[in-house]
Amino acid sequence: MSAPASLVVTDLRTRFGSDRVGATVVDGVTFTLLPGRTTALVGESGCGKSATALSLMRLIDKPGRIIGGSVTLNGRDLLGLSESEMEQVRGAAIGMIFQDPLTSLNPALTIGQQIVETLQAHRPMSRADADRTAIDLLTRVGVTDAARRIGDYPHHFSGGMRQRVLIAAAISCSPSVIIADEPTTALDVTVQAKILRLLHDLQGAMGASLLLITHDLGVVASMADEVLVMYAGRIVERADVDTLFHDPRHPYTKALLACVAGIEDDRSVPLEPIGGSAPDLWNPPVGCRFAPRCPVVQDVCRSQDQPLRRISAEHEAACILVEEDRMHG
């Protein structure tokens, strides 16, 4: 039996521009976030991973718009909610953490006020109770001497400490889903290690599902239970973390892992860049979007879309070779 789903995204499509001229930056994305599990959404800049996160929180700005699909949170259809209903979902049922804590925090509000604001927006609560809760939350995320520091402003805090404040705000209403978009990209590695550990521990304690968006395969390997690889607006592979790193089936995933091995291992591993660059989504190639860069491309890939093909219950890849491997046993 599978655990109850907390967030189900089905065939989500988000487009910028008009029906005729435009770019479908999220193009039929489907996945499920389960309680207590970390799902990593990984890909390179422009692949649509942040657009996916913004879409499911309905934060896509005009001229972008969601043109299809559904997002349900514990059975409730988020795309059908009014804007004011959606505001109650954001920050409460779904907590959000972004890359740049300095721009996500209001520079004119104290650290305490930022958290109190979130708390009072979602729950009727006296100011004194909200202050006490804010101090508890800050202590929980590792801000030492929180009772004194709630009066400080964001610029008094280091990058790592600011990110802790954002995490405290994100978990303040005990969300069932936490979305973290490149939460450690701007941080030094020693600080990153601490923030990743904190996110992992909090998620474990809360039993929330975590959607971790990152381009860093090292972060994916250490944090994820399940991995979604995104390329040019589509998910091209889905697998549990061990399978993804040790038995990848999509040529893009393989190429990405080879790049990382070439960069991060010693000099005996050759540097193997992926030739070319990601396609222009305003004018995407026909067929598989990785075909122009694919080392094992076949004729059919250039004319027909390649849907996700099932390899096992935990593993899918959008590549024709999955069929061939199956036929050849």
Partner 1 sequence: MAETSIATTPPPDTLLEVVGLSKSFGGRRGRTSGIRAVADVDLTLRRGETLGLVGESGCGKSTLSRLILSLLEPDAGQVRIAGIDFTHAPERHRRELRRRIQVVFQDALSSLNPRMTIGANIAEPMRLQGLGSAALRRTEARRLLGLVGLRPEHEDRYPHEFSGGQCQRIAIARALMLQPEIIVFDEAVSALDVSIRAQILRLILDLQRQFGLSYIFISHDLGVIKRICDRIAVMYLGQIVEIGPAETVCRAPRHPYTAALLRAIPIADPRRMRVSDLGQIEGDAVGAVKPDACPFAPRCPKQFDPCDKRRPALIDVAPGHQAACHLNEPEAC
Residues that bind partner 1 (CB under 8 A): 44-45, 158-160, 188-194, 196-197, 200, 215-224, 241-242, 245-246, 255-257, 259-267, 271-274, 277
Closest CB to partner 1 among residues 240, 325: 240
3-state DSSP assignment of residue 121? helix
Instruction: Annotate 254-283 with b (16+ C-beta within 10 A) or e (fewer).
Output: bbbbbbbeeeeeeeeeeeeebeeebbebee
Shortest Cβ 265–partner 1 spacing (Å) = 7
**Shortest spacing between CB 259 and partner 1, in angstroms:** 4
Helices (H), the chain: 49-56, 83-89, 101-104, 111-122, 127-140, 146-149, 159-170, 189-206, 217-223, 241-246, 251-264, 321-327
Q: Residue 210 Cβ, how far from partner 1 at the closest point, in Å?
A: 11
Q: What are phi and psi of 285, to 5 degrees?
A: -70, 155
Question: Which of 109, 221 has the CB closer to partner 1?
Answer: 221
185 and 220 Cβ atoms separated by less than 8 Å: no
Measured over the CA atoms of residue 21, residue 307, residue 75 and residue 212, the dihedral's sign is: negative
> Closest distance between partner 1 and the C-beta of residue 160, in Å?
7
Q: Which residues pair with 41 in a beta bridge?
A: 213, 228
Amino acid in position 296: V
> Shortest approach of partner 1 to residue 230 CB, angstroms?
13
Q: Least distance from C-beta 8 to partner 1, angstroms?
A: 25
Q: Which is nearer to partner 1, 77 or 264 (CB)?
A: 264
Between 267 and 328, name the residue whose CB sits nearer to partner 1: 267
Query: Based on CB atoms, which residue is closest to partner 1, 71 or 278?
Result: 278
* CB nearer to partner 1: pick between 127 and 156: 156
